[in-house]
Amino acid sequence: MHLRTLELNGFKSFGKKTELSFGAPITAIVGPNGSGKSNVAESFRFCLGEQSVKSMRGKKTEDLIWNGAGSDAKGNRASVRLVFDNLPQNIDGKSKKLFNVDFDEVTVERTVFRDGVSEYKVNGSPVRLKDVIELLSQAHIGASGHHIISQGEADRILNANSRDRREMVEDALGLKIYQYKRKESEKKLQKTEENTRQVESLRREIAPHIRFLKKQVEKIEKAKEMRAELATLYSDYLKREYIYIQETNKRLSVEEKEPQAEKIRLEEELGVAKETLEKAKKKDGKSEEVIKLEKDLSEIRNKKDYLISSIGRVEGEIAGLERVLVRQKSRTPTEGNVPLSEVRRIADQTEEIEESVKNESDPESIKEVLRKIKEILRSFIERHSVKKGENEEDSEREIAKLKEDRARFQDEFAKVSAKEKELQRFYSDLKESIDKEKDQNRDAEKAVFRIMAELNSLRSKLSAIRAEKERIKMVEDDFNREIQEGVVLVGRDIKRYETANVSHDGKTVLSEAEIISEDRNKQEDRRRAIEKIKIRLEDAGLVGAEEIVKEHDETVERDMYLEKELLDLKASASSLKELIRELGEKLDTEFKEGVQRINQEFQKFFQVMFGGGNAVLSVVKEEKRNRGESEYILAETDDSEIVAAMEEEEEGKEGIDINVSLPRKKIKGLMMLSGGERALTSIALIFAMSQVNPPPFLILDETDAALDEANSKKYGDMIENLSQKSQLILITHNRETMSRAGIIYGVTMDRTGVSKLLSIQFAEAVAVAK
Ligand code: ATP
């Protein structure tokens, strides 16, 4: 037994809180007309999620709430709570949990407010109608209410159209849960397909962007490769260049050292040589002294010559005069005797004068000479116009005078000779020293020329070195520029050329000698290769590569995510389709099998009721229902979906027809049955349905009303039989039915219009029922 209690609070006529407990397989509710018995049955419907107010005999929601009576104010809400025992202890002793939840007791509560809003709670926690329906479906307590047969509705299943009948049958067979599941799956599928389309459209949208980014990234990758290649080329190139520069600089400073020192030495030497030369040049002034000396010497020699000749002349005159004197002494002086010396002197004087004008051509000068000669001759005549007797003295005087002259000349000659000697010695010394200096001068000049020539050759050597240095400086500048560019293009790693000593192939250790001896053209080729890559890199012109790669990765990642999502969506769509197909198949087979099983039971119950005959359900194709004809008016916002689902699922499916043939009667078809026969047929069908898939409880509101005594008995037997599988709550006026109940509740209504409930005994019940 799963049904424990029912609690009504403000529901319809139950203005006060009322609780019914169902401790027996059969509970009977008895009471006078209008006391509120049917309200109890309706409270079950209400609590289990009934959306149709009409089926609870109301026009609007408010009709379900205690309306007040007399002094009692009307309520604001109506609530009904059902308590189920969820322990695996069924009425037939089989171990089975009623609800697939971890609670031993499950309470389902519904409250409705005057504004029409309903609240559902399962075990005290608010839930949606959908959750209640799903939960109840597990226990075959469907919303179609096949297990709650309201008053006068016993033959509802007979009156219903074939499709509604099918719904009741499906509900009774516990197939609703599959229908909900299928509906849910279809909704999910629809949603999934919608999502799939969205994702596909998103992917289509980003595809061109990805293609663009991919191309960019390929370019970036290419550039990366180029950079790597460039780095390798750089490492080799820079290493070689570095060593080349270092070694060349070293070599040049070595090469320069010696000529530099030599140059300094030669410059010093040149200085000295120049000085020497300068000095020598200065000494050149002595040549004037030589000329002067030579002139002096020549003058002195002339003078000497003159003196010699003068001495000779004087000596001659003396000798002549002495001879004259001798003669004079030995004879008388005569007029007109002229000493020879006198004549000679005149001859000498004229000779001298003639000598002095030897080169003259001027007539005036010649005249002057002639005048001088005339004077000399006159003075001679003057002197020799003397008296006789004076001659001897004159001669002696003359001789003495001449001797004086001679002595004077000799003296002078001696002086002049000495002077000459001295001058000659000076001259010789000077000459010697000049010659010597001339030699020195020539040597100095030679030395200067030699040094200058050497210096020139050194200078050109040094300037060649300097030129080489300049060239290396330029190479070094290029090298540094290259490094700067390289760092920008490839990164700081390229600076490792100083330490790394490996060529681009990563193996060969480069020897310095090898590098130095290599043809520079090869290095130039390397540089050109580097340039080429640099140009290609520049052409690639990728700015913001990092961002592009990042964006590419993110976009691809997003696309991959979308692709995965798409796959997931497709997978879930196909599994949903599969599920829908399976559910459809299951529904179909279980429905058909269920109908067969119901038919077996239906036939049995029918034959029991009618003592023979045949009753059978048949599956038929139904017309589509007009969607405007919804009977669900209690649809709440939250649950509108489920109501729509309830309606939709009905479309174009198979319905159920009931065919009966009574024993001994020719009538066939439901329309021709009497009221009692209809009631019996319905009961047979309701019971058959309950047998196939017994609900935990079955409420029958005066289903037995139309039965005669004999049938009441049969009915009583059947319900006892039925109560072994389902708890029965029977609202009845029937004595026979009451007698089968374990618990009997009497419902009364006092003057205030409030239904009251009391547990009574059979005897009382009979009285109450009356
Ligand atoms: P019968 O034996 O004739 O079928 P019953 O015992 O089944 O009678 P119900 O139909 O359950 O009686 O009860 C009907 C009574 O409930 C009526 O008197 C009606 O006035 C009262 N009732 C219905 N709705 C409300 C409400 N909202 N507030 C107060 N009373 C209500």
Which of these ranges, 374-383, 421-430, 682-691, has the smallest mean pLDDT? 374-383
pLDDT attached to residue 636: 44
Q: Which residue, judged by its Cα, is nearest atom 22 of ligand 1?
A: 13
User: Does pLDDT of 667 surpass 80?
Assistant: no
Q: How far is the CA of 14 from the centre of ligand 1 (A)?
A: 9
pLDDT 10s digits, 151-180: 877 777 888 888 888 888 887 887 877 888
**Distance of alpha carbon 623 from its chain centroid, rounded?**
65
Mutate-to-test residue for ligand 1 from 8, 16, 20, 38, highest number of ligand atoms within 8 A of CB: 38
> pLDDT at position 628, please?
44
* pLDDT above 50: residue 626: no
Which numbered atom of ligand 1 lies nearest the CA of 731?
7
User: How far apart, in whole angstroms, are the C-alpha atoms of residue 263 and residue 455?
Assistant: 6
| Per-residue pLDDT band at 633 (split at 50, 70, 90) | very low
Nearest Cα residue to atom 24 of ligand 1: 12
Distance 97 CA to ligand 1 centre (A): 35
- The three-point CA angle 240-245-246 to 5° equals 100
CA of 267 to the centre of ligand 1 (A): 144
Closest C-alpha among 166, 153, 167, 170 to residue 56: 153
Neighbours of 95 (CB within 10 A): 8
Please provide the average confidence, as pLDDT, over all residues in the chain: 83
Ligand 1 centroid from CA 39, angstroms:
6
What's the mean pLDDT in 510-532? 87
The two beta strands, 743-749 and 755-760, are: antiparallel
Residues 6+ apart with CB under 8 A from 120: 49, 108, 109, 110, 126, 127, 128, 129, 131, 132
| Beta partners for residue 756, in sequence order | 748
pLDDT of residue 150: 82
What is the number of other CB atoms lying within 10 angstroms of the CB of residue 285? 8
Ligand 1 atom with the shortest distance to the CA of 67: 28
- Which phi and psi angles does 490 have, rounded to 5°? -115, -25
The span from the CA of 534 to the CA of 489, in Å, is: 8
Spacing, Cα 757 to ligand 1 middle (Å): 13
617 has a pLDDT exceeding 50: yes
Residue 282, judged by CB atoms within 10 A of its CB (0-12, 13-18, 19+), counts as exposed
The torsion of the CA quartet 584, 590, 592, 649, rounded to 10 degrees, works out to -40
Using CA positions, which residue lies closest to atom 17 of ligand 1?
Answer: 34
- Of 261, 280, 279, 258, the closest CA to residue 269 belongs to 261
- Ligand 1 pocket test, pick from 12, 30, 61, 71 with the greatest ligand atom count within 8 Å of Cβ, gives 12
Pocket-testing residue among 9, 30, 39, ligand 1, by greatest number of atoms within 8 A of Cβ: 39
Residue nearest to atom 1 of ligand 1 (CA): 33
For atom 11 of ligand 1, which residue has the closest CA? Answer: 36
Going from the C-alpha of 616 to that of each of 483, 606, 759, the distances in angstroms are: 101, 10, 40
Residue 703 near residue 728, CB atoms below 8 Å: no
Q: Beta strand pairing status for 727-731 and 26-30?
A: parallel
Distances (CA, A) of 393 to 105, 324, 325, 406: 208, 11, 9, 19
In this structure, the residue with its CA closest to atom 5 of ligand 1 is 34
Q: What are the backbone dihedrals phi and psi of residue 5, each rounded to the nearest 5 degrees, phi first?
A: -140, 160
Q: What is the mean pLDDT of residues 735-760?
A: 90
- Ligand 1 atom nearest the C-alpha of 749 is 18
Q: How far apart are CA 369 and CA 391, in angstroms?
A: 31
Is the confidence at residue 682, as pLDDT, over 50?
yes
The yes-or-no verdict on residue 627 having pLDDT over 70 is no
Count of other CB atoms within 10 angstroms of residue 249: 16
Could you identify the residue written with the tokens 């300068």?
278
Distance in angstroms (rounded) separating the CA atoms of residues 151 and 164: 19
Do residues 293 and 429 make contact, with C-beta atoms less than 8 angstroms apart?
Answer: no
Ligand 1: which atom is nearest the Cα of residue 747?
6
Q: What average pLDDT does the segment 570-592 reach?
A: 90
Q: What is the pLDDT of residue 693?
A: 81
Q: Determine the distance separating the centroid of ligand 1 and the alpha carbon of 34, expressed in angstroms.
A: 5
pLDDT at 96 over 90: no
Output DSSP code: residue 719: H
How far separated are the first and last CA of the chain, in Å rounded?
A: 30
Closest protein CA for atom 14 of ligand 1? 34
Q: In the predicted model, what is the mean pLDDT of residues 58-64?
A: 87
Q: Which two tokens stand for residue 641?
A: 């979906």
Mean pLDDT of 252-256: 89
For residues 592-610, average pLDDT:
90
Looking at residue 652, what is its pLDDT?
A: 56
Return the DSSP state at 14.
Answer: B
* C-alpha of residue 429 to centroid of ligand 1, in Å: 179
Q: Whose CA is nearest to atom 21 of ligand 1?
A: 13
- Would you list the DSSP string of 457-480? HHHHHHHHHHHHHHHHHHHHHHHH
Which residue puts its alpha carbon closest to atom 27 of ligand 1?
Answer: 12
Token duo for residue 480: 């540094």
Tokens, residue 506: 């990563």
User: Please, what is the angle between helix 675-692 and helix 162-172, to 10°?
Assistant: 40
Please tell me the residue having the least CA distance from ligand 1 atom 13.
36
Task: Evaluate if residue 464 carries a pLDDT over 50.
Answer: yes
Centroid of ligand 1 to alpha carbon of 36 (angstroms): 4
CA 748 to ligand 1 centroid distance, Å: 10
For ligand 1, what atom is nearest to the CA of residue 151?
A: 4
Model pLDDT, residue 286:
61
Residue nearest to atom 25 of ligand 1 (CA): 12
Task: Tell me the CA–centroid distance for residue 29 and ligand 1, in Å.
Answer: 14
pLDDT range class, residue 65, cuts 50, 70, 90? very high
Q: What is the residue type of 331?
A: R
pLDDT the model gives residue 191: 92
* Ligand 1 atom at minimum distance from 32 CA: 2
Rounded to the nearest angstrom, the distance between the alpha carbon of 749 and the centre of ligand 1 is 9
Question: Of 355 and 525, which is predicted with more confidence?
Answer: 525
Going by their DSSP bridges, the two strands 697-701 and 654-661 should be labelled as: unpaired
pLDDT at 635: 40
User: What integer pLDDT is reported at residue 632 of this predicted model?
Assistant: 43
Residues touching ligand 1 (Cβ under 6 Å) are 12-13, 31, 33-39, 63, 66-67, 151, 753
Residues 144, 130: contact at Cβ < 8 Å? no
d(CA 39, CA 16): 13
Locate tokens 């959750």: which residue?
131
The residue-averaged pLDDT of 625-648 equals 47
Q: Whose CA is nearest to atom 2 of ligand 1?
A: 33
Distance 170 CA to ligand 1 centre (A): 31
Task: Report the SS3 class of residue 415.
Answer: helix
- Residue 232 tokens, joined: 């390798």
Q: How far is the CA of 148 from the centre of ligand 1 (A)?
A: 17
Q: pLDDT tens digits for 187-221?
A: 999 999 999 999 999 999 999 999 998 988 888 88
Question: What is the DSSP annotation of 433-457?
Answer: HHHHHHHHHHHHHHHHHHHHHHHHH
pLDDT for residue 630:
43
Ligand 1: centre distance to CA 21 (Å): 21
Which of 140, 146, 121 is CA-nearest to residue 132?
A: 121
The pLDDT value recorded for residue 323 is: 78
Tokens representing residue 345 in the block: 């002197």
How many Cβ atoms from other residues are within 10 Å of residue 446's Cβ? 12
CA of 508 to the centre of ligand 1 (A): 109
pLDDT of residue 477: 93
Rounded mean pLDDT of 389-401? 77
